[in-house]
Amino acid sequence: MSTHKVSLEARHISLSYGPTEVLKDINLRVEPGEFFALLGPSGSGKSTLLRLIAGFNRHQKGELLVDGQDLSNTPPHARNVGMVFQNYALWPHMSVFDNVAFGLVERRETRDAIQRKVGAALELVGLQAYAQRRPNQLSGGQQQRVALARTVVIEPKLLLLDEPLSNLDKNLRVQMREELKHLQRKLGLTTLFVTHDQEEAMTTADRMAMLDKGVLQQVGSATSLFDFPVNRFVAGFVGTANLLDGEVTHANGETLGFHAQGIGPMTLPCPVDVPQVGPATLAFRPHTVSIRVRDEHVDASRLWLDGRVESSEFMGETSRYRVRVGEAVLVANQPHFAGLSLFMPGSDVRLGLECTQMRLLPR
Ligand code: ADP
């Protein structure tokens, strides 16, 4: 396997299908050897961007650099990019060996080289014993590994994965994402992984980019997107969030005034300096909200809001409450321990919001 790791860079890339602009001024840099996830809802443009990198789609504006070289005018077969498709695209009438050998045969490599390289690729994915089987004699996870072996055997500079785990059932998906990460580390191949599943992106990738409607929203590590989302779209897509629209009324370095729609004015004991008063969305995660009985003594470092439980759900590790506060409904998740009883619907409770866990987002 080649050891030279390459970077991938998109500069001001735009792509339209007819009058519809599907990718808008994409700027992105993936570092050599990095495992990078492209995350976004269906239709956001992820596959279009991936196919553009593979050379199957043509952008109208911008540059695509691999290892510093502009590939915009290089045809797909000359890009040395390996792509694994969602449906694996294996040849059903060929053995596993022949499927993996396909790209090498096309390149007219010698019989010895093919034997050696296919053997190594099958060993890499743990399928040496399955070389003579047909794809339909393999499980979904094994077919996925054949697709990976077939892609890495040609020693691509870049590995592109288009929702490679979405055809597998939940347990297998969790197992395969660990295998995928392990394989990527072993190969050290710069990898771009497309998924609509935020958990998949968070658990596998070094960094990720969030795409919505063809616009890159935010790029960073899983924790930076989760902890510091730049807008309400990212806050709601990467994890779940309570989002309160309203106005910042004052910030004096000690307290923050926020007038929330449906709740009214509140004073947060938060020493934040907000650049300006005006429209904003207050965002906070359900698991950072504490829930107490109404008359319990509560500490002053949090903002406490009185509410009434509308519904409670026991989910095992946590219990999820929907609590009406004024006209808003907030979600609070509590870790569960044996012996802890749930708040029932109708219970009067108090929700505690913690300053360090709240974000003000542009609106
Ligand atoms: P994703 O992979 O995030 O689900 P896609 O990249 O497949 O999104 O699609 C992005 C948008 O481009 C969608 O609105 C889709 O309908 C549109 N689109 C994709 N391929 C074509 C095409 N060949 N012609 C016209 N529109 C397309």
Q: pLDDT tens-digit profile of 167-185?
A: 778 888 888 888 889 889 9
> What is the 3-state composition of the chain as percent helix, strand, coil, each rounded to the nearest 5?
25, 35, 35
User: CA–CA separation, 213 vs 224, rounded Å?
Assistant: 21
| Dihedral (CA of 90, 93, 98, 103) sign | negative
pLDDT of residue 3: 67
Q: Is the CB of 45 under 6 A from ligand 1?
A: yes
Query: Tokens 């995928």 map to which residue?
Result: 180
pLDDT of residue 287: 96
**Is 80 exceeded by the pLDDT of residue 237?**
yes
Q: Is the CB of 17 under 6 A from ligand 1?
A: yes
Instruction: Report the DSSP beta bridge partners of residue 242.
Output: 284
User: CA–CA separation, 219 vs 47, rounded Å?
Assistant: 17
Residue 136: Cβ within 10 Å count: 9
pLDDT of residue 275: 66
Residue 47 CA to ligand 1 center (angstroms) comes to: 7
Lowest mean pLDDT among 74-83, 234-243, 266-275, 324-333: 266-275
Nearest alpha carbon to residue 121 among 189, 172, 183 = 183
Residue 45 CA to ligand 1 center (angstroms) comes to: 6
> Which one of 3.40.50.2300, 2.40.50.140, 3.30.1380.10, 2.60.40.60 gives the CATH number of domain 240-362?
2.40.50.140
Report pLDDT digits (tens) over 254-295: 888 999 999 999 998 887 766 678 999 999 999 999 999 998
Mean pLDDT over 312-323 rounds to 96
Residue 46 CA to ligand 1 center (angstroms) comes to: 8
Report pLDDT digits (tens) over 13-32: 999 999 999 999 999 999 99
Cα 12–chain centre separation:
22
Which tokens in the block code for residue 302? 């949090």
What ligand 1 atom has the least distance to the C-alpha of 214? Answer: 10
Q: Is the CB of 51 under 6 A from ligand 1?
A: no
List Cα–Cα distances, 38 to 178, 196, 225, in angstroms: 18, 8, 13
pLDDT of residue 167: 78
Q: Are the CB atoms for 235 and 359 separated by under 8 Å?
A: yes
8-232 and 240-362 share one CATH topology? no
Q: Are the CB atoms for 210 and 238 separated by under 8 Å?
A: yes
| Dihedral (CA of 85, 86, 89, 90) sign | positive
User: CA–CA separation, 246 vs 363, rounded Å?
Assistant: 9
Q: Is the CB of 40 under 6 A from ligand 1?
A: yes
Residue 221 CA to ligand 1 center (angstroms) comes to: 26
Q: Is the CB of 42 under 6 A from ligand 1?
A: yes
Going across the sheet that includes 81-84, the strands are 81-84, 158-162, 190-195, 35-39, 207-212, 215-220
* Higher-scoring residue by pLDDT: 140, 317: 317
Mean pLDDT over 51-64 rounds to 94
What ligand 1 atom has the least distance to the C-alpha of 47? Answer: 2
- pLDDT band of residue 207 (cuts 50, 70, 90) is very high
**Is 80 exceeded by the pLDDT of residue 197?**
yes
Q: Is the CB of 52 under 6 A from ligand 1?
A: no
Return the SS3 of 70: strand
Residue 49 CA to ligand 1 center (angstroms) comes to: 10
pLDDT of residue 158: 95
Which tokens in the block code for residue 242? 């309570």
| Residue ID of nearest Cα to ligand 1 atom 16 | 43
DSSP 8-class letter at 43: T
User: CA–CA separation, 341 vs 13, rounded Å?
Assistant: 54
| Residue ID of nearest Cα to ligand 1 atom 7 | 47
Residue 169: half-sphere exposure toward Cβ, Cα within 13 Å: 3
Q: Is the CB of 22 under 6 A from ligand 1?
A: yes
CATH number of the 8-232 domain: 3.40.50.300
pLDDT of residue 69: 93
pLDDT of residue 34: 97
Query: Tokens 């924790």 map to which residue?
Result: 223
Report pLDDT digits (tens) over 289-304: 999 999 888 888 899 9
Alpha helix (H) residue ranges in the chain? 46-54, 96-106, 111-124, 140-152, 170-187, 198-204, 222-227, 232-237
What ligand 1 atom has the least distance to the C-alpha of 41? Answer: 3
| Residue ID of nearest Cα to ligand 1 atom 6 | 45
pLDDT of residue 117: 95
List Cα–Cα distances, 241 to 214, 225, 229, 345, 359, in angstroms: 23, 12, 10, 21, 10
The residues near 326 (Cβ < 8 Å, ≥ 6 apart) are 260, 262, 263, 264
Mean pLDDT over 86-91 rounds to 84
Residue 87 identity (one-letter amino acid): N
Residue 172 identity (one-letter amino acid): L
pLDDT of residue 2: 52
pLDDT of residue 101: 95
User: CA–CA separation, 196 vs 4, rounded Å?
Assistant: 30
Residue 281 CA to ligand 1 center (angstroms) comes to: 30
Q: Is the CB of 46 under 6 A from ligand 1?
A: yes
Sequence ranges of the domains in the chain? 8-232, 240-362
pLDDT of residue 322: 98
pLDDT of residue 273: 67
Mean pLDDT score across all residues of the chain:
92
pLDDT of residue 112: 95
